[in-house]
Structure 1
Amino acid sequence: MAPDHYLVPARDAEATIEVKGSRFLGWVRRVDSEDEARAYVAVARREFFDARHHCSAFVIGPDGSLQRSNDDGEPSGTAGAPMLEVLVRREVRDVVAVVTRWFGGTLLGAGGLVRAYSETTAAALDAAGVLRRERRVVVTVEVAHAEAGKVENELRARGAEVVGVEYEADAVRLRVAAWPDAVVSLREQVAALTRGAGEIVAGDSVWMP
């Protein structure tokens, strides 16, 4: 079943930790595609060219179906995979995490690397916060000019989210973002407010904060 909501980063954020002289700088960014995620990794490589590693992980899609990670030269499974695990465990989607490491001269071992990359990613996520996105159906409500103000005010008063109003020569069209299971109720409300004269057409699903 397709999800009706999911979490995304609320803002771009960074976090830094140091472990035995090595410095780890973590980025978290909101992305909409794999290309966009990889572009942020490329930015890290250009901006911090003096660092040895730029490890990454990203999760894309409302259901988190696209997941990738990269150790970028660290021992296999010690960087990208634990970063990805943090993103998946936090249930954050449409997100890329990049952790840049400057080697401090002391080997951290596999366990130390896993902890460092996990903690840096988690700290960056904490700094970013999360925003809930919800699936809505955009419904067009068509009413006469004389009734448009009353209908719009009543719908807003009942909690409907009116996202657009178009004034045409023959009618006024209100665009309402409704919960999928509330379309029938909205249809009944419009019918009652317009004595059956108002028309309502359910359109595409959209994701809204």
Structure 2
Amino acid sequence: MLKVYGFSRVNKMAHGKTRDLRVLWALEEMGLPYEVVGIDHPQRGLDTPAYRALNPFGQIPVIDDDGVVVTESGAILLYLARRSGKLMPRDLAGEAQVLRWCVAALNTIEVPVLTAWFVDLNGGKGTQASNALHQWGSMRLKQLDGWLAGREFIATDEFTVADLLMTHVLGAGTDESVVKDHPHVLAFQKRCIARPAWKKAFDAYCDRVEAA
């Protein structure tokens, strides 16, 4: 059975926001059977030799699909979409749009948004660097908002892994502060997290994962 290496215990600040949720959500959408291998982050479970053999960066998530080991949440989602034939168009043009928007989520959007959060968290709030990062992020979100005007989903007419990934990058409904000033992005996020598969994955995560 496909194994998902995800958290069993994580720092309280990160609880409900970790990237294994992207994979768990996708698996619920696809209806693929899986088991979760829980890793205790505060007890340095990511630093064991066994785990570093799977992912040298010591990050979550990882999947092991009968010996096929894949790391990086975006790569895992694309792999699972190809494997299942779901959440990804079968034609080359449609697949290209999904690839395009997965990369945009992880690079064009997540980089400024996540970096600004990290700088502020570490005492940089209000600094020139923080202000520049927030301006960069706001610019990208405004551009994304324009793209989503009149669109239900981001890459195609159907829900795909690109929507799932972008939704989680933007906070997946756990924190609307990033998108509150961008009505089309906010509406997009709300549509995506209203899906039953998200609720099932998120509820199971909250029941299973301890906040340390």
TM-score tier, shorter chain, comes to: under 0.3
Return the TM-score normalized by structure 2: 0.26
Structure (1 or 2) with the greater strand fraction = 1
Q: State the structure with more CA Rg.
A: 1
